[in-house]
Amino acid sequence: MSIDTLQPATAPAAPPLPAKRAGAKFSKLDTVTKLVIALVVGILLLLIGYPLIRILTQSFSPEGRDTLGQILTSATNRGVLLNTVALGLVVGAVGTCIGFAFAYAQARLEFRGKRILHLIALLPIVSPPFAVATAVISLFGRSGLISNKLLGLDYNIYGLTGLTVVLGLSFFPVAYMNLLGMLRSLDPAMDEAASNLGASKWKIFRSVTIPMLIPGFASCFLLLFVEAIADLANPLVIGGDFTVLSTRAYIAITGEYNVAGGAAYSLVLLLPGLLVFLVQRYWAERKSVVSVTGKPSGRVNLISSPLGRIPLLTIVLLIAALIVTIYVTVFIGAFTKILGVNNSFTLANYQYVLAGIGSDAMFTTTILALIATPIAGVLGMILAWLIVRKVKRGRGVLDFMGMLGLAVPGTVLGIGYALAFNKPFIIGNIQLLPALAGGGAILGGAMAIVMVYVIRSMPSGQRSGVAALQQIDPAIDEASTSLGASGITTFRTITLPLIRPALLSGLTYAFARAMTTLSPIIFITTPQTKIMTSQILSEVDAGRFGNAFAYCTILIVIVLSVIGLMNLLVRDPRPKTRTR
C-alpha cells in the first residue's frame, strides 16, 4: 500500500511536538473542549485501542501462546521470520538507494524534463497495491512478455527477487520525497564554504552532503523496512513460496481458521512497526542536522559536467523507463484478452468493471471512501487543534494515539478489527455494539470498513493539521477569544478557515489512501460489501489479469480525478468578500 506511506514524505515540516512552547499557554479548558477531548479519545479507543487490545488478549490466550512459542522454536516459523527480516532489509536498502538517486538528480543535476521525472517518481503513490506486481508478472513472469517472449528466458520472478523489484518500486517514492525535501533544505552556503576551502564537487558530495543526510537515510531505511515487512498484497501475488509473517498470518486466519495464531503472528509484526515508528518520529527527526528555516540562502550550483551527470542520469532514466513500462502494461493489459497469450483488443474487461458484476465493488468502494474521508479529515483536524492549541499535559499521548492508525501495520489492524468487531460487543449482559464486521454484521460489514478507512487515513489529516496550526500565531486565537468567542466558536470561525488548505490536502490523501488500502480490508470484507482492492486480489488469484488491470486503471483514474478536484478547491485562499 504505497499510499499509506505518503505522509511522512510530504509533511516533513511537522516536527515532533515540542514538550512545551513558550508564549502560548492554554491552561484553562472550557467544558465544551473537555467534552470534545472525551469524545475524540473515545473514538480513538474504539477505532484503534480496542482492536489492538483484542490482538494482545488473543495472542496471549493458550492457542496464541503456542504460536508465539513456535515462532522461534519451529524451523518453518524461523524461516518465515528470517524471510521477513531479509525482505525488509533488502527493500529498505534498494528503495532508499533508488529514492536517493531520484532525489539527487532532481535537486542537484541539470537536465531537462525534471517535472516529468518528478511525476513518474510519484506515480506508484497513487496506484493500487497490485498494479506494479501484476504488471511485473506479465512482463517478467514465467511466460512474461519481456523475459520469455522477447528474451526467451525461462525465468522465475516469484520470490524474493520479484518482491524486491515490486516493493522497491512501490515504496521508493517515500524515500524520494523525504530525501528531496532534505536536499532542498540543505543550506547551499555549506557547499560554497566547502568549495571555498578547496574541496572538489566529488569531495563535497562525500564529506558534506552525504554525512548531512545520514539521519535521512536512516529514517527512510526504517520506514521502508517496516512498509516491506508489513505488506500483504504483494507477497500474496508475487511471493510464491517465499512466505513472510504477514502472509503467514493471513493463511492462519483465512486458511487454518486459527485466529489466535494469526493474532500472534501479527503481534510479531506489530512490535517492529511501532518501534520503528517511534524511533523515526521522535528520534531521527530530532537528530536531523538539516536546518528547516524556510529561507534557503543562495542558489545551488547545479551539476552540468557530463562526468557527474551521465552515470546517475542513466540509472535514474532506466528506472523511470521501467516504471513507465509497468504503467503502460497496466493500461494496455486492461484492453487485451490475456496479455502475452492472446493480445487481441477487447473492451470486455472494462465492461466487467464498469457495467458488469465488477461495477458493484467500484461503487461501494467509492461511496464508502467518500463517507470516511470527511470524517477522517475533520477528526484529524480536531485532533491537531487539541494537540497544538488546547491540551498541554498529555498532548504527546494524544498525538501518539492518533498516529497509531498509521504506525500499526495494515495486516495487524485488519486482524484486530476481525477479532474486535466480528461479534457483538458485550459487557456483562448489555450489548454495547452489534457486530460491525464480518458476514453477520449490520449493513453487511460496511461500517467496519468505513472505520478502517477513517483510522487509517486520519493521521494524514492530523499531520497536515498540526503543521498548519503551528504556523498560525496563537495571538489570532486569543484575539478571537478576547472579542467574546468561545473555544468552539473560535475553532469554527477562525482556526478551521485558516487551516482549510491543509484540511483539503489531508482529505485528498485520506481519500486516496482509503481507495487503495488492502491489507486491513481483506480480513473484514463480506460478500455483501465488495471492495475494489480485494476484488483485484481475487481477480489476480484467478488469473484474470485483464479484469485486474481494468480495476487498477479505474482506481487510478478515480484517485487522480479526486486529487485534481481537491487541488482546484484548495486554490484561491483569498478572503471572501464581506458578508453583510
Site for another protein contains 41 (CB under 8 A): no
Task: For residue 368, list its beta bridge partners.
Answer: none
Site for another protein contains 23 (CB under 8 A): yes
Site for another protein contains 27 (CB under 8 A): yes
The Cα–Cα gap between 232 and 256 comes to 17
Site for another protein contains 571 (CB under 8 A): no
Beta carbon of residue 425, minimum distance to another protein (angstroms, whole number): 37
Residue 3 near residue 560 (C-beta atoms within 8 A): no
User: Strands 342-345 and 425-427, how do they pair?
Assistant: unpaired
Total interface residues for another protein by CB under 8 A: 32
Residues 6+ positions from 376 with CB-CB distance below 8 Å: 453, 454, 455, 457, 458, 461, 507, 510, 514
Footprint on residues 304-323 left by another protein (CB under 8 A): none
Q: Which of 66, 110, 478, 541 binds another protein (CB under 8 A)?
A: 478
Q: Which DSSP helix (H) or strand (E) runs through 65?
A: helix 62-73
Beta carbon of residue 484, minimum distance to another protein (angstroms, whole number): 5
Comparing CB distances to another protein, the nearer of 346 and 489 is 489
E strand residue ranges, 441-549:
none
Contact window for another protein (CB under 8 A) among 24-32, 109-117, 125-133, 272-280: 24-32
Site for another protein contains 488 (CB under 8 A): no
The Cα–Cα gap between 435 and 430 comes to 14
What mask, x for binding another protein by CB under 8 A, covers residues 457 to 476?
----------------x-xx
Q: What is the DSSP string of 106-129?
A: HHHB--S-HHHHHHHHHHHHHS-H
Contact window for another protein (CB under 8 A) among 17-25, 308-316, 353-361, 548-556: 17-25
Residue 421 near residue 441 (C-beta atoms within 8 A): yes
Comparing CB distances to another protein, the nearer of 20 and 78 is 20
Q: Which of 493, 528, 561, 567 binds another protein (CB under 8 A)?
A: 493
Site for another protein contains 486 (CB under 8 A): yes
Burial class for 541, CB neighbours closer than 10 Å (0-12, 13-18, 19+):
exposed
> How many Cα atoms occupy the beta-carbon half-sphere of 515 within 13 Å?
28
Burial class for 25, CB neighbours closer than 10 Å (0-12, 13-18, 19+):
exposed
Comparing CB distances to another protein, the nearer of 250 and 385 is 385
Cell triple for 281: 518520529
Beta carbon of residue 423, minimum distance to another protein (angstroms, whole number): 45
Q: Which of 21, 30, 287, 569 binds another protein (CB under 8 A)?
A: 30
Residue 186 near residue 209 (C-beta atoms within 8 A): yes
Footprint on residues 503-532 left by another protein (CB under 8 A): none
Beta carbon of residue 481, minimum distance to another protein (angstroms, whole number): 4
Q: Which of 72, 214, 479, 569 binds another protein (CB under 8 A)?
A: 479
What mask, x for binding another protein by CB under 8 A, covers residues 62 to 101?
----------------------------------------
Site for another protein contains 498 (CB under 8 A): yes
Task: For residue 303, list its beta bridge partners.
Answer: 109
The Cα–Cα gap between 124 and 85 comes to 23
Comparing CB distances to another protein, the nearer of 22 and 307 is 22
Site for another protein contains 580 (CB under 8 A): yes
The Cα–Cα gap between 380 and 459 comes to 6
Comparing CB distances to another protein, the nearer of 30 and 256 is 30
Q: What is the DSSP string of 521-536?
A: GGGT--SSS--HHHHH
Site for another protein contains 295 (CB under 8 A): no
Q: Which of 152, 428, 527, 575 binds another protein (CB under 8 A)?
A: 575
Orientation of helix 306-333 relative to helix 545-570, angle to 10°: 120
Residues engaged in binding another protein (CB under 8 A): 22-23, 25, 27-28, 30, 473, 475-476, 478-487, 489, 493-494, 497-498, 573-580
